[in-house]
Structure 1
Amino acid sequence: MRTLHTAELLVAGAGSAPLRDGAVLVEGDRILALGPFAELTERYPHARARRWPGVLTPGLLVRGADTLLERTYYPDDQYETSGGGTEPISGPEALEALGMTEARWGNSARRGTQKLLARGVVAVAGRFTVPAVRTAVVRSGLTVLPPAPYEGLPALDPLAGRERAEEAFHGVLEPGAAARFAVFAVADLDVLPTEGATTCVATVIGGRLLHRRR
């Protein structure tokens, strides 16, 4: 089925001029076309339409994901928050006290990848050495890239410390490219680094809607 994703602004990539009321037409796991929503609905009248608030952009890339997922523990909200709180746990002593096993790391990584998807992340860079963690990342749909240089500490929000949102984009939106993008409920692209990636309302990877803010 063909699906039209439209938002108030469409930014196809770094340096691209925002297109008001722009849309991305997805067929399978690929982008079929981009352009004004009105034009695409006329050309593809039978496509299903999804309307989103804010700005539609390429999905985001997180660097240092091995630190985020193999050296940071995400408590299970349902079972663990009453005793240990909801904040991620890191540091050798704290992790040793938890008695981490590979299975527990895998469960934590699944929760961590959900947090990344909820921030518009579509790709992660890092070297994963725990098999259960790598399995969780691959199954999440996130693209795994080799380690890449980064400054400061890795963060779940790839916009943290960025002056421009484009610095965190992964790829560009164009016909034939993988259908991999995110939508953020902000007025324009310039305010996105300030508002942060938690403004994400939708994340699409491989044409599938993997996160939708409820």
Structure 2
Amino acid sequence: MFWYAAAGSKNSGPRAVTADEASRLAIARFRNYRKQARAVTISVPGAAGELVITGSADYRAKAGYGVLKGNGRNDSGNGLIRWTATRIELRPLPVVPDAPPEKPPSDGWFARPLNPSAGALDRALAILLGLGSDRPDNAQLLPQNGAEWVAADQVNGHPVDVFTGPDSRDRPGSAGKVRYWLDADGLMYRVQAAIPGETNPVVISFDAHEIIAVPSAR
């Protein structure tokens, strides 16, 4: 569940980010790239039920690997999933483990292109891979483009600040559609992103389980 400071509290926002906060926000994606691998849990909303992916993302290889579990009608697609910026592969399993095997099966995979405009799952996977960059963002531009501080919070015992993201170059008007939970060093612990056509957001949580190595893309 998400927590926001009560209206009127001295710790409540939103407000413009300070220079220090802009610097933290600017290095957040670079910190993911420097760490290379992050353990992730992705909650994807949908009319047929929520999908949950538990696995890892490799921000240098731009790839991910995990187990996919659904609630409601979406449980028919339960199994393993691996993806890159251009491709998704699914491997159905009758019984889905809590974590993916270190060595994925060599057969039984069904592949298709990843299309961020095709649906919530593809959009969520694209958002996740976009949370890494080989260089920091421009801290001076973030306040100008709408980045704001929202509240102080905690994630799994870690003190964090909640920020709204700025407008992106490819999605004008997107300021406030993405929220980042960052610690004092700019490390991401959670990201929440609104997506078209869905009432609930995509939620990405980091470091809630052990990292599983992402296999090399085929």
Per the normalisation by structure 2, the TM-score is 0.30
Per the normalisation by structure 1, the TM-score is 0.31
Q: Which has the higher helix share?
A: 1
